[in-house]
Amino acid sequence: MRLIILGPPGAGKGTQAKRLAERLGVPAISTGDIFRSNVERGTPLGRQVKQYLDAGEYVPDSVTNEMVHDRLGEPDALAGFLLDGYPRTTAQVEVLDGILAESEHRLEAVIELVADTEVVGARLLRRAEIEGRADDTEDVIRRRLEVYQEQTAPLTDVYAARGLVRRVDGMGSMDDVTDRLAKALEG
């Protein structure tokens, strides 16, 4: 299974991606997690991307694409994956198409996790208090939501035109959402 999960910051994508991937037996690959872990470890990649994460801006496509290309080439991703946080721009969509074409694979589905913008803003602020993520401050959250609307929301149409999108309501309890996601993939 090769899947993408799309949705605004705070929609619960990360949590749901991990749960769903576990059920499906494929790795959940989160570009945000990979970037954050590199920042925490102070790797060269981490030093390169920190400024973008802190500001709520997207990391340049060249950096992101190379990282994803390498990650998808790792053995655990060969039989399938659930991508969380990638692609986020139309240029990234093209690169992913290329990566998949190289290995003669195709996407099975693109899950759109739908969430209310007011709810997600409030969720992110609450999470900030608990997890202390550097980019969960009010200004940066606002910027992340803006960048999402401008650059990533249009990807739903791109994939809808290919008949791949499954819309799933992201509101409600975590378990309910996971069940809905699993059901959406059965259909």
Which residues form the interface with ligand ADP (CB under 6 A)?
Answer: 9, 31-32, 35, 52-53, 56-59, 64, 85-86, 88, 92, 135, 144
Q: Is 133 a catalytic residue?
A: yes
Choose, from 36, 50, 123, 144, the residue flagged as catalytic. Answer: 144
Nearest approach, Cβ of residue 15 and ligand ADP (Å): 11
Q: Is 144 a catalytic residue?
A: yes
Choose, from 2, 19, 50, 88, the residue flagged as catalytic. Answer: 88
Question: Helix or strand or coil: residue 87?
Answer: coil
**Residue closest to ligand ADP (Cβ):** 32
For tokens 């991606």, name the residue.
Answer: 17
Chain centre to alpha carbon of residue 53: 14
CA dihedral 9→60→165→171, nearest 10 degrees, is 0
Closer to ligand ADP by CB, 40 or 183: give it: 40
Closer to ligand ADP by CB, 26 or 67: give it: 67
CB-neighbour burial class of residue 133 (10 A; exposed 0-12, middle 13-18, buried 19+): middle
CA pair distance 35, 49, nearest whole angstrom = 7
Closer to ligand ADP by CB, 5 or 26: give it: 5
For tokens 């991307």, name the residue.
Answer: 49
CA pair distance 85, 150, nearest whole angstrom = 15
At 11, which amino acid appears? A
Nearest approach, Cβ of residue 54 and ligand ADP (Å): 8
Choose, from 18, 127, 143, 167, the residue flagged as catalytic. Answer: 127
Q: Is 167 a catalytic residue?
A: no
Nearest approach, Cβ of residue 117 and ligand ADP (Å): 13
**Paired strand residues for 5:** 84, 111
Nearest approach, Cβ of residue 186 and ligand ADP (Å): 26
Question: Hey, which residues are catalytic here?
Answer: 13, 88, 127, 133, 144
